[in-house]
Amino acid sequence: MADQAVQDQRIAAMTFASIYPHYVTKVEKKGRTVEELHQVIEWLTGYDSAALQSHIDEKSTFSTFFQDANLHPNAALIKGVICGVRVEEIETPLTRQVRYLDKLVDELSKGKKMEKILRS
């Protein structure tokens, strides 16, 4: 349990700006676009491109990034395994939200249709 608390703290302290380039690389390598990535992030968080850029410029931690977000009401429909853990079983809200984002980026890079990714 102590290991999970350390992991949760580490995730909370990471900056969105440090992870964002990895998301871009991952989706572009698989033939998807930055615009599609932004669409997915906006669906989950409510951030438009300007707000997203602001969080990148300010080097917001994931804690701040998700604290300011308006999480989509259907975010709880995001299920599956990411990093060897079932997203829906993650107890710490912030860690679960970060993994929601990871899962959506993963689905985008795997070529899933946007309607399915956005749970519409």
pLDDT, tens digit (0-9, with 9 covering 90-100), for 44-53: 999 999 999 9
User: Which pLDDT does position 24 carry in this prediction?
Assistant: 98
Residue-level pLDDT at 104: 97
Residue 5 confidence (pLDDT) above 90:
no
pLDDT band at 4 (very low <50, low <70, confident <90, very high): confident
Domain encompassing residue 55: 2-117
Mean pLDDT of the chain: 94
Angle between helices 34-45 and 16-29 (to 10 degrees): 130
* Residue 2 pLDDT greater than 70, yes or no: no
Name the residue among 108, 30, 110, 109 with its Cα closest to residue 118: 108
Q: Report the number of distinct structural domains present in the chain.
A: 1
**Residue 27 pLDDT level (bands cut at 50, 70, 90):** very high
CATH number of domain containing 15: 1.10.8.290
Residue 15: what pLDDT? Answer: 96
> What's the CA angle centered on 57, arms 118 and 96, to 5 degrees?
40
What single letter denotes the amino acid at residue 70? Answer: N
| Model pLDDT for residues 80-115, shown as the tens digit of each residue | 998 888 999 999 999 999 999 999 999 999 999 999
Whether 120 shows a pLDDT value over 90: the answer reads no
